[in-house]
Structure formats: structure tokens, C-alpha cells
Amino acid sequence: MYIASEKRYEKMKYNYTGRSGLRLPAISLGLWHNFGDTANIERMKEICFTAFDNGITHFDLANNYGPKEGAAEINFGRILKEDMLPYRDEMIISTKAGYYMWPGPYGDFGSRKYLIASLDQSLKRMGLDYVDIFYHHRMDPNTPLEETMGALATAVRSGKALYVGLSNYDGENLKKATAILEELRVPFIINQNRYNIFDRTIEKNGLKETSAVLKRGIIAFSPLAQGLLSDRYLNGIPEDSRVRTDGRFLNESGITEETIGKIRKLNDIASKRGQTLAEMALAWILKDGVVTSVLAGSSRPSQIIDNIKAIENTTFSEDEIKAIDEASL
């Protein structure tokens, strides 16, 4: 039986999520990859145990994480039941619905029918009575925003979610959704969006600025750009990389000599800071205090230890910020 480290809260930094009372670890664990049917359950346990032993209390899932859809929730539920259930009240567990999950018109996007049914399924897969955060996973161009936000309100009022979040929204729709959720008195506290040195969409579409103004938190996924912002691609594409083994999210055609050149320049900047490229990439996201937490995945426990080192230095000089911009944009 797993027994958590007594020193688990000594090093991690915890940030308030927007204006709520909920604090999230600066580094959270994402189960988007490495927790599906093709993964080893003992390795999954090692990853979760290492994360929790080092103060990572937040575990982020979605209904469609796999492969196959739902597999990550099933596997995480097994780990909870067999080893981590005594620590449930020390954990923040989140899930989402919004992408394709099952056939027909009721298993995708943002209808009330889909969101409430999906949450019920997620709770069953994980063996939970509630999740701490339930997200709408993406904007729906066809369902009225009032209906989608109303479904999130129902999730909270039913006791199946403590807080709600929005994922992959832009600044304009965030304002509209926030107004509805405030009127419904729903504890909407966080936005989840892709954000890294190479992808600054949330700066361009107003999401980052709007979140700060509205006092909502941000949690950034893909902080290492699917591994590009690490030392793995300094000398080209390794054979065991995600590009070679799973081209769904990182395509070989996108890794050009120009991209490799940018990675090398960024690595030089990181070295001068006394950090690895991955550490600097995570620290860069946290540098201005607007982002609450960085959502990092892991394929092995050692990566978690490396990721946590990023919080030791999140201060950047103006010259360093300028150099990173010139190397990456």
C-alpha cells in the first residue's frame, strides 16, 4: 500500500486560483499522454506517487484521454482505489468534456445533454462522487453559451463538481461566459489553454489579459511544446521521440532546421541561467504571476523531479526575456 512522503509539502509552491480560495501547485500533473491502454500500470503508479510525494496535488484528466477514450480515467481510478484513496481530500482532480467521446449527436461539443452525461461517466470511471474542477473543453459554435454554462452550473449544484473551468476559449468568449456564470453564481475559477515559448496564442487572442482582469486563473498545457522545449531535439529527431512513435500531436514536417536552430539558441540562454531548457520553459510561463499552474505530463518519474526544479528560479531579466523572444519568435 502506498504511503505518501511526510515531506511532500516542503518544496512545492501553491498559488491561489484567481480570486478563489483554491490553491494549485505551480506544477500540476497532466494525464493527457502516458495513461492510456498502451501504458504500463506500474509505471503510471510510479508517476502519480512521485508527483504526490513532491507536492503535486493536482491531477488533470479529460473524458477522451487515452487511447482509448476514457482509458486515462479508468487507470487513474484504479490507482486511486488501490493506493491513493486515503489522500483524496489532499488531491485536486479535474476532468473535462467537449471533444468527441461517443457516436451520435449527443457525445460531442457543449450541449447540456452531453456535458452532464459525460460527467456522470467520468465519475463512474474514476470511482468518485465528485471532481474538484469540471471543464468545458472547447468552445461550441452551435450551442447557446447560456446552455453550456447552465450545464456547468448544474454540475456544481448537484455536488458533482466543486468548481468549473473553461478550456480553449478566447478572450472575447471568456468575457461572455464569465458574465453568465457570475449571474448563475457558479464558482468559475480557471482557464486551461495551450501556452509555451513557441505558442503564445493566449497573448494574441486576449485570453491571458482578460483572465487577469477578470481575476480568473490560468493553467497552461503543452508547456514544453510536446517536448520541443527540452534537450531531446537539440541534435535532430530521436528515434524514440513522440514524433516517431505517435505523430498525432507533433509532426515531423514541423521540425525544420530553423526550429532546431531556435531550440539550440534557447538552450544556450537556459544554460547561462543555470537551468535546462525544459526548466527554463516552465519557469518562463510562471514568470509574471498571471499563470496559476503549469500542466506538465510525464512518461517517467525522473521527469517530474526535473520539472519541479523550474520553480526554483522564475525571475527573468529584461535582457533574458528579449533574448528568448528573439530566439523563438
Domain ranges of the chain: 14-231+286-311
**Residue pLDDT, tens place only, 172-202:** 999 999 999 999 999 999 999 999 999 999 9
pLDDT of residue 246: 55
Roughly how many angstroms between the first and final C-alpha of the chain, as a whole number? 48
Q: What average pLDDT does the chain have?
A: 94
Sorted by sequence, the CB contacts under 8 Å of residue 4 that are 6+ apart come out as: 49, 52, 53, 87
The stretch 283-298 carries a mean pLDDT of 97
Rounded CA separation 241/11 (Å): 31
User: Which residues 6+ apart lie within 8 Å of 223 measured at CB?
Assistant: 195, 196, 229, 281, 282, 285, 294, 295, 296
Rounded Cα distance between 85 and 107, Å, is 30
pLDDT reported for residue 158: 98
d(Cα 192, Cα 316) in Å, to the nearest integer? 24
Average pLDDT over residues 145-154: 98
Report the amino acid identity of residue 27: I
Write the CB contacts of 159 (distance below 8 Å, at least 6 apart in sequence): 129, 130
| pLDDT above 90 for 247 | no
Specify the range with the lowest mean pLDDT, choosing from 82-91, 227-236, 256-265: 227-236
| Phi/psi of residue 168, nearest 5 degrees | 65, 30
pTM of the model: 0.94
Task: Identify the burial level of 129 via C-beta atoms within 10 angstroms of its C-beta, where 0-12 means exposed, 13-18 middle and 19 or more buried.
Answer: exposed
CA-to-CA distance for 192 and 217, rounded, in angstroms?
A: 9
Model pLDDT, residue 255: 75
To which residue does cell 482509448 refer?
Answer: 68
Backbone angles phi and psi of 194, in degrees to 5: -70, 135
Give 244's pLDDT tier (boundaries 50, 70, 90).
Answer: very low
Q: Which CATH architecture has domain 14-231+286-311?
A: Alpha-Beta Barrel (3.20)
Structure confidence at residue 236 (pLDDT): 66
What's the chain's Rg over C-alpha atoms? 19
